[in-house]
Amino acid sequence: MGGGGRQRGRKEEGFYIPEDVMVSILGRLPVKSLLRFKCVCKLWLSLISNPNFVESHLSYQNNKDPQILVATPTDHHRKIVIDSIVLRGDATEITHKLTVHDIPLDSFEMLLSCNGIVCFYGVIYIHVCNPSTREFRTLPPATPRIRLFQDRSINYLEQVGLGQDQVTKEYKVVRLFKREEYNGSRNLFMEGEVFTLGKERPGLWRGIGATPFQSAVVPPCFANGALHWLTHENFPTEKSKVISFDLHDEKFRLLPHPSCCSNPSKTWASRFLLILRGCLCLGDRIADSQLDIWTLRDYHSPNSMWVKEYEINLETNKIDGYGPYMYPPIYPIAVHMNGNFCLTLEGERLYYYDLRSNSFRNVDYRRPSQLIYDPWSNSFCNVNYSNHSELICYIDASYHQSTVTMSVDFIPTEYVDSLVSLFGRRYPTC
């Protein structure tokens, strides 16, 4: 009996799961579980850390209904609270992903998420973050920004983009900035720099020279291995055209544009680029009644063409008293598997749009309250964060208590859980 027992033990020790089966099983698990499973054994650590597995896991996650990531700066942009939202029917599921602390003082904007990576860029600093792995990385300083004094105002003319090289699978941050030269007269032109988020890279910005196009002062969209901009209306020969920057060969190209861009009576302000289900799209606002969404089909084909895929009727809807509107603008964030949309109104409110019934539903969510210290009452008080505005009490230089109302959220973005590494520091789990 003893021998039989030992034999069964040897059979159990020899139990084998084919690697493709293991990859298929593990690839369906959430990132939080996979990070823990790295500690199970060396085989699992090697498998889960493998770039091919990271891509396979990402591909599976992209086939799910999208998450919406909402980030809120607090403590005068020294802290960022990051949550994700999943819409399941009439229910709203909210998950706290990460709170980033002790950020150098700056004023930040947030880019659209790329494969689970989020980029915050400010006047001085650029940060990248993977909320799922809780990694955070501050990039080294780039070329100083040029300050242009016009009518006693300071204009910071800079654009930052984030995307993935489809060949090397590396992630890159691209920065376009204005440079001025004095050569008898004052000349301005736009230049670019690239930073590669690679483990073996030296961690330096690389110059890519002057850009051949003047782009609009809005962040780019990433799709099909390239960043995309709309050209600036101040340059008539380039009005409302689409330009791309390939992240592999790092070259700019001019893309075809949909027929709606040929209307000379409309400016670029009525149009915007966006990404839906990984495809490059263009939103076209029609007066105060309709939002058309065009999709670029067969992107890499010489026969690629723009197709008007969606029409969102705004004329018959009333949203929180705005009624038929176009300003403040509505911006689609994500499209669900059933064809319905998640949209944002000026980045402050979220809505679920049913394409069949042509109806909007408010996505109401509340963050957990947070305790802050009030020096006037010598006690702690609750501050509730919502997707509207935040009431802040502070002490100014004259030691007077003041109250201000300010917008707290960055524009929400479609988001997917991923294992993509930033080779930065990792915040401990809660």
The number of folded domains in the chain is 1
Q: How many CB atoms lie within 10 A of CB 363?
A: 18
Tell me the C-alpha distance between 80 and 78, whole Å.
7
The reply to whether 348 falls in a domain is: no
Residue type for position 220: P
Strands 290-297 and 305-313: antiparallel
- Helix 51-62 × helix 19-26 angle, to 10°: 50
Residues 121 and 426: beta-carbon distance below 8 Å: no
97-102 long-range contacts, CB within 8 A, separation 24+: 97/69, 97/131, 97/132, 97/134, 98/129, 98/131, 98/134, 98/136, 98/427, 100/127, 100/129, 100/136, 100/427, 102/78
The reply to whether 372 falls in a domain is: no
Burial 132-154 (b: 16+ CB within 10 A, else e): bbbbbbebeebeeeeeeeeeeee
Residues 6+ apart with CB under 8 A from 30: 417
Residues 63 and 44: beta-carbon distance below 8 Å: no
Give the angle subtended at the CA of 80 by the CAs of 193 and 402, to the nearest 5°: 115
Residues 170 and 196: beta-carbon distance below 8 Å: yes
Domain encompassing residue 25: 18-63
Q: What is the pLDDT of residue 251?
A: 93
Tens-place pLDDT, residues 16-43: 778 888 888 998 999 999 999 999 889 8
The reply to whether 39 falls in a domain is: yes
The reply to whether 105 falls in a domain is: no
The reply to whether 292 falls in a domain is: no
Residues 390 and 74: beta-carbon distance below 8 Å: yes
Q: What is the pLDDT of residue 376?
A: 35
The reply to whether 136 falls in a domain is: no
Q: What is the pLDDT of residue 404?
A: 28
Please state, in angstroms and as integers, the Cα–Cα distance from residue 111 to each residue in 128, 230, 410, following that order. 10, 16, 9
For the chain, list residues with pLDDT below 50: 1-12, 148-156, 235-238, 323-328, 367-408
Q: What is the pLDDT of residue 274?
A: 92
Structure-token pair, residue 81: 């609270």
Residues 6+ apart with CB under 8 A from 334: 66, 68, 276, 341, 342, 414
Q: How many CB atoms lie within 10 A of CB 23?
A: 18
The reply to whether 369 falls in a domain is: no
Residues 126 and 137: beta-carbon distance below 8 Å: no
Q: What is the pLDDT of residue 184?
A: 64
Burial of 12 (0-12, 13-18, 19+ CB in 10 A): exposed
